[in-house]
Structure 1
Amino acid sequence: MRQKFVVGNWKMHTTAAVAGRLTQAIADGLGSDTRVRVVLCPPFPYLALVGERLKGSRVALGAQNLYPAADGPFTGEVSPTMLLDLGCQYVILGHSERRHTLGETDAFIDQKVRAALAVGLDVILCVGETRDQRNANQTEAVLDRQLGQGLAGVTAGTLARLSIAYEPVWAIGNLSHHATPQQAQDAHAGIRRRFGLLFGEPAAQALVISYGGSVEPEDAAALLSRPGVDGALVGGASLHADPFLAIVRAASGGPQTGVKAAG
């Protein structure tokens, strides 16, 4: 049985004061319940602050990116070892915004994945198609390419520290084009099939695949109850404690509050 997994990706949001209050509210709200793995991924400047607030809680610390080198002349970049030094356990790689806004290639993402796994970080690898690609019936081909090229050279011994987040780019931040639970389930099944071809069926069945297409409290239960939808990569709703906690409760099968994220 794969444990449910909920990740809050704060992107380029919060201040130090807001990050501190939000972290404390989430940690306090979760208490000691261990049914769902929960991770918070603040911006780089607040990793140390958030990590300090998370000490003694059941919430893990994650980063939103890294550069695939231990050190060197890479102005403005952050290394895997720096993340470890700050207490990070997880890192998000291949996010759609880095692919489509910042131009990251599958080959570069693969370097990042291997660098992160090599030092002991747990990787959340994001994959997903654009609206044009979906309309052209290229979803399967896009996911196959992103998985095959983004995981090239990854060894079997590191697979336990790898999860996948399916991001339908056409659904992110789009109130009129959310993916249905069935679309999410179908995409996750396709990802699992492809992963099985790459690494074997036992590894595919153990793989945690989360959904990352603008998850909100009101649709979380329908998504997370679907077979093969093992968790959620949460953007906007993770910037407020109540909606984020509602999504975690949905993952655990608990009662919902119906709180909607503000902003």
Structure 2
Amino acid sequence: MANSGNGVPWIGTGWKMNMTLGDAREFARRLRTFISDSNPASKIFVIPPFTALAAVCEELEGSPAMVGAQNAHWEDSGAFTGEISCRMVADCGAKIVEIGHSERRHLFGETDLTVRLKVRAALRSGLRPLICVGETTEEREHGVAVDTVNRQVVIALHGLSTTEALRCVVAYEPVWAIGEGAVPASPNDTNQMLAAIRQRVSEVFKPETADGIPLLYGGSINAQNAVAVFRESEVNGLFIGRAALSCDGFLEILGLAERQLIGAC
């Protein structure tokens, strides 16, 4: 695990279009109890659906766990039926907003430009942007995976000050590694991609800025492969999907990460 930022790893989960309000509250209560009992070193975050955002924020209020939204509009308010602004997300008590997930890009037409606009909106509202990047199977097969991912990162961070860039978190989620039955990127491939991202960010900003931006991996992470990925030198944390839809699954992976931290001390 790389020593980025303050050296504390990030472990989080996004629930996509899952969880009832009751399920979300129960998950949050169990997570709060775990944190209280074990005092984990990791930066923990959960990203519920909008219907449960305020409730999960309420359940985790005063806890070190951060709550985030899965998406937000780039405008602060206006006639955008069905949309939610970053200001509204922050007003719920959330601290993070996920931006640019591949499903948003490919199913809902989001572009690198809209991702950049949303990053700025998040920062205006005091939120941490969790910027998702990743290449398709075709882009990897044609040898442009690194170029694709670096383009996404550079456009998302374009025009930011160093202080603003250091508020961002980047999650590398190869499109081909997401979804049921998908195969995760190998730990080595993950490490190489994160190293390439860090190098490109250091060219745009400074090496110390690149070192201060947490780089996470997401894509078919589970209890069987989490430790191998977590051990890689450039990995600052994990963004977990299906394997963390149950609180048991999330706590298992979180526990594995914590044991790795203890073993490294």
Q: What residue is the counterpart of 2:30 in the other structure?
A: 25
Instruction: Measure the CA separation in 2 of the matches of 1:178 and 1:160.
Output: 28
The answer to whether the Cα contact below 8 Å between 2:183 and 2:220 also exists between their aligned partners in 1 is: no
Deviation per residue, 1:157-180 (Å, 9 max, x gap)? 212211100001111125462211
Deviation per residue, 1:210-245 (Å, 9 max, x gap)? 001121011111100110111111111221111111
Instruction: Measure the CA separation in 2 of the matches of 1:199 and 1:250.
Output: 34
The answer to whether the Cα contact below 8 Å between 2:227 and 2:260 also exists between their aligned partners in 1 is: no
Q: Which amino acid letter does the alignment assign opposite residue 7 of structure 1?
A: G
Instruction: Measure the CA separation in 1 of the matches of 2:13 and 2:180.
Output: 18
Deviation at 1:251, TM superposition (A): 2.3
Instruction: Measure the CA separation in 2 of the matches of 1:155 and 1:247.
Output: 34
User: Alignment partner for residue 166 of structure 1, among 138, 152, 172?
Assistant: 172
Matches within 5 A, 1:49-198: 49-173=55-179, 175=181, 177-198=183-204
Deviation at 1:57, TM superposition (A): 2.2
Instruction: Measure the CA separation in 2 of the matches of 1:252 and 1:225.
Output: 12
Instruction: Measure the CA separation in 1 of the matches of 2:88 and 2:179.
Output: 31
The answer to whether the Cα contact below 8 Å between 2:40 and 2:258 also exists between their aligned partners in 1 is: no
Instruction: Measure the CA separation in 1 of the matches of 2:35 and 2:191.
Output: 27
5+ residue gaps, structure 1, are: 256-263
Structure 1 segments of 4+ aligned residues over 3 angstroms from their partners: none
CA RMSD of aligned residues (A): 1.5
Q: Which amino acid letter does the alignment assign opposite residue 114 of structure 2?
A: F
Aligned length: 255
Q: Which amino acid letter does the alignment assign opposite residue 47 of structure 2?
A: C
Identity of aligned residues (%): 36
Instruction: Measure the CA separation in 1 of the matches of 2:259 and 2:143.
Output: 34
5+ residue gaps, structure 2, are: none
Q: In structure 2, the residue corresponding to 1:217 is in which secondary structure?
A: coil
Matches within 5 A, 1:206-221: 206-221=212-227
Instruction: Measure the CA separation in 2 of the matches of 1:239 and 1:28.
Output: 17
Q: What residue is the counterpart of 1:260 in the other structure?
A: none
Instruction: Measure the CA separation in 2 of the matches of 1:140 and 1:246.
Output: 32
Instruction: Measure the CA separation in 1 of the matches of 2:87 and 2:184.
Output: 37
Q: What residue is the counterpart of 1:248 in the other structure?
A: 254
Q: What residue is the counterpart of 1:261 in the other structure?
A: none
Q: Determine if the alignment matches structure 1 residue 4 to structure 2 residue 9.
A: yes
Q: In structure 1, the residue corresponding to 2:53 is in which secondary structure?
A: helix
Q: What residue is the counterpart of 1:259 in the other structure?
A: none
Instruction: Measure the CA separation in 1 of the matches of 2:193 and 2:260.
Output: 25
The answer to whether the Cα contact below 8 Å between 1:30 and 1:245 also exists between their aligned partners in 2 is: no
